């Protein structure tokens, strides 16, 4: 069984780069990742770009609607995810439109942080 | 080197006229809007420092491009990890860092890619307009804020957010796929029309900013060329051409604003009227008329009337009715009321105005009070008219508007 741990935190409230707290905070993540790896539990993990970079797609009457911003949860709950490697946002949105649930709910497309 | 010129004036002119072309060309080669814009701004600062000392280069646009590329390279080196630029780009910039600044450079026109990128649906609509005005019109943040009646800081934050999203979300600098082109064009048309109206009735108090008007018309022409079967693109271009055809007649010799009935029709630009009229006809023949084509049709009726009284008012009233059905909007009704007052008399116009729900927004809308004042004056209700003129004057921003309304008020209250 696999579990996807979606990490919710208020943006900007966590330690920011350049502060004294940032180093230990990031070290904590690296240590946790390492522990999960060693225990054989880690499948994949990524950080997402902030919600300001998010775009949400829905398909209604066969027509795709694209709006700026993250999906605001209402009755719909997160039910799964795809991690896709796409050319650019348009490419990703085109793929997201084809996810069957886009016609009923919404699909939030958020770029993943690439660590150097 | 050219003879000494007032450098700041020259730089301002370059920004106004060539900003969009230079910036879109830079974005196309650098692939990052934020980096391209920051680097171009650096180059502008360098121009203001260097040109007064060394003289103005023979080809200022080529100079800007070369210096901006050098600045981009500096920025990437200074901030290597944050920028995460590919080695390929760095290499490309290295190779082009010493492009001669004094020879003409083929600067490819990527403005169409730029406008579709700025109008990407993944951006909030207001940000799309703001970004397009910034990227293609070279408007300052303060000017864009003025167009939206926003605070400059609010607009600056909005632009920063939009630019950040362009980069971080991976919005590519390109034209949409053919199957998306029509949908995405609606957003582009709205943005072009806003640029036109900003130039037409500039919020900074200037009566007309022909550079913005011309830019909007130019963008409209490029779009209609690219999308020959898009009726609303034609409708919008027609609307802008017809509106602009009256530009010279809109001001009297003393610089005062002249309303339609007082304009010297000989000063209307016949070439623009012909071109606009032909475009409306084509647009209307292509299927159900969209809002731009309907407005253009109204404008064409004005443009082709021999005199103000010979205008086909009933037809204009009917077209406003169609428009109001498509776009329920009090501003359409205000214009309809004015047309109705010439078709059926001022009381008919006033009755229509009275059916509008006057909320805070409409109550702060100057043309509503100006229209009301005119109808009341024509009905002989001088005191009510004077009160409406006073409200309109207090709401007017452009000095020409204020002067025009004040003259009307004076004529009304004169013994």
Q: Closest-CA residue in chain B for A17?
A: B82
B185 near B124, Cβ under 8 Å? Answer: no
pLDDT of residue B80: 67
Give the SS3 label for residue B247: helix
Chain A residues with beta carbon closer than 8 angstroms to that of B124: 68-69
- The string of pLDDT tens digits covering residues A53-74 is 899 999 998 888 898 988 877 7
Which residue of A26, A47, A53 is the best one to mutate when testing the B interface, meaning the one whose CB has the most B CBs within 10 A?
Answer: A53
> Cα separation of B65 and B96, whole Å?
10
Task: Name the residue with tokens 């009917």.
Answer: B318
Q: Closest-CA residue in chain B for A93?
A: B122
- Mind spelling out the 3-state secondary structure of B169-199? CCCCCCCCCHHHHHHHHHHHHHHHHHHHHHH
Q: Does A116 sit within 8 Å of B169, measured CB to CB?
A: no
Q: Does B123 sit within 8 Å of A88, measured CB to CB?
A: no
> Cα separation of B285 and B279, whole Å?
10
ipTM of the prediction: 0.74
Whole-prediction pTM value? 0.75
Query: pLDDT-derived band of residue B207, with 50, 70 and 90 as boundaries?
Result: very low
- The string of pLDDT tens digits covering residues B95-144 is 888 777 777 778 888 988 998 999 999 999 889 988 988 898 778 898 88
> Cα separation of B32 and B83, whole Å?
10
| Alpha-carbon distance B164 to nearest alpha carbon in chain A (angstroms) | 8
Q: Does B84 sit within 8 Å of A114, measured CB to CB?
A: yes
- Our measurement of the distance from residue B29's CA atom to the centroid of its chain's CA atoms, rounded to an integer in Å, reads 27
- What percentage of chain B reaches a pLDDT higher than 90? 53
Cβ pairs bridging A and B (under 8 Å): 51
Q: Does B121 sit within 8 Å of A111, measured CB to CB?
A: no
Q: Does A67 sit within 8 Å of B121, measured CB to CB?
A: yes
- What is the DSSP secondary structure assignment for residue B4, as one 8-state letter? P
Q: Does A66 sit within 8 Å of B122, measured CB to CB?
A: yes
Q: Is the pLDDT of residue B154 over 50?
A: yes
B137 near B215, Cβ under 8 Å? Answer: yes
Q: Is the pLDDT of residue B276 over 90?
A: yes
Q: Does B168 sit within 8 Å of A49, measured CB to CB?
A: yes
Which residue of B113, B128, B159, B168 is the best one to mutate when testing the A interface, meaning the one whose CB has the most A CBs within 10 A?
Answer: B168
pLDDT of residue B50: 92
Residue of B394, B397, B378, B377 lying closest to B386 (CA atoms):
B377
Average pLDDT (A101-108) is: 84
Residue of B211, B272, B187, B267 lying closest to B16 (CA atoms):
B211
Q: Does A92 sit within 8 Å of B177, measured CB to CB?
A: no
B32 near B79, Cβ under 8 Å? Answer: no
Q: Which of B84, B123, B127 is opposite residue A116, by nearest beta carbon? A: B84
> Cα separation of B23 and B72, whole Å?
12
| Alpha-carbon distance A1 to nearest alpha carbon in chain B (angstroms) | 31
Average pLDDT (B348-376) is: 92
């Amino acid at each position: 069984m696999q579990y996807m741990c979606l990490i919710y935190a208020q943006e900007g409230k966590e330690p920011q780069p350049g502060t004294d707290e940032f180093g230990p905070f990031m070290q904590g993540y690296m240590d946790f990742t390492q522990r999960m790896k060693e225990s054989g539990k880690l499948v994949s993990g990524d950080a997402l770009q902030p919600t300001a970079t998010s775009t949400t797609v829905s398909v209604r009457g066969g027509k795709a609607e694209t709006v700026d911003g993250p999906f605001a949860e209402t009755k719909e709950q997160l039910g799964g995810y795809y991690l896709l490697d796409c050319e650019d946002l348009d490419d990703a949105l085109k793929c997201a439109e084809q996810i069957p649930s886009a016609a009923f709910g919404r699909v939030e497309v958020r770029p993943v942080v690439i660590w150097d | 080197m050219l003879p000494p010129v007032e450098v700041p004036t020259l730089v301002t002119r370059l920004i106004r006229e060539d900003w969009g072309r230079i910036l879109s060309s830079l974005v196309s080669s650098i692939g990052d809007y934020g980096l391209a814009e920051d680097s171009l701004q650096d180059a502008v600062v360098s121009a203001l420092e260097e040109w007064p000392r060394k003289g103005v280069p023979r080809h200022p646009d080529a100079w800007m491009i070369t210096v901006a590329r050098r600045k981009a390279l500096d920025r990437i080196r200074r901030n290597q990890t944050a920028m995460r630029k590919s080695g390929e780009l760095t290499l490309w910039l290295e190779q082009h860092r010493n492009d001669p600044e004094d020879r003409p450079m083929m600067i490819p026109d990527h403005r169409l890619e730029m406008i579709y990128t700025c109008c990407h649906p993944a951006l909030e609509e207001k940000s799309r307009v703001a970004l397009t005005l910034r990227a293609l019109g070279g408007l300052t943040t303060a000017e864009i804020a003025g167009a939206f009646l926003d605070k400059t800081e609010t607009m600056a934050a909005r632009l920063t957010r939009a630019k950040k999203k362009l980069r971080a979300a991976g919005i590519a600098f390109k034209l949409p796929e053919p199957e998306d082109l029509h949908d995405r064009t609606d957003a582009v048309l709205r943005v072009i029309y806003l640029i036109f109206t900003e130039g037409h009735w500039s919020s900074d108090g200037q009566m007309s900013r022909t550079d913005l008007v011309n830019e909007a018309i130019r963008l409209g022409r490029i779009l209609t060329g690219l999308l020959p079967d898009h009726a609303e693109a034609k409708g919008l271009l027609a609307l802008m051409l017809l509106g602009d055809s009256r530009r010279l007649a809109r001001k009297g010799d003393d610089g005062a604003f002249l309303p339609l009935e007082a304009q010297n029709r000989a000063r209307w630009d016949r070439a623009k009227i012909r071109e606009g009229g032909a475009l409306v006809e084509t647009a209307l023949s292509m299927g159900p008329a969209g809002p731009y084509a309907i407005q253009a049709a109204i404008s064409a009726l004005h443009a082709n009337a021999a005199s103000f009284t010979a205008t086909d008012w009933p037809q204009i009233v009917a077209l406003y009715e169609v428009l109001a059905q498509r776009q329920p909007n009090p501003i359409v009704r205000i214009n309809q009321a004015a047309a109705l007052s010439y078709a059926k008399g001022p009381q008919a116009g006033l009755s229509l105005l009275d059916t509008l729900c006057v909320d805070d927004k409409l109550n702060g809308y100057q043309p509503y009070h100006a229209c009301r004042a005119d109808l009341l004056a024509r009905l002989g209700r001088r005191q009510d008219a004077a009160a409406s003129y006073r409200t309109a004057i207090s709401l007017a921003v452009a000095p020409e508007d204020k002067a025009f309304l004040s003259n009307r008020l004076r004529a009304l209250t004169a013994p």
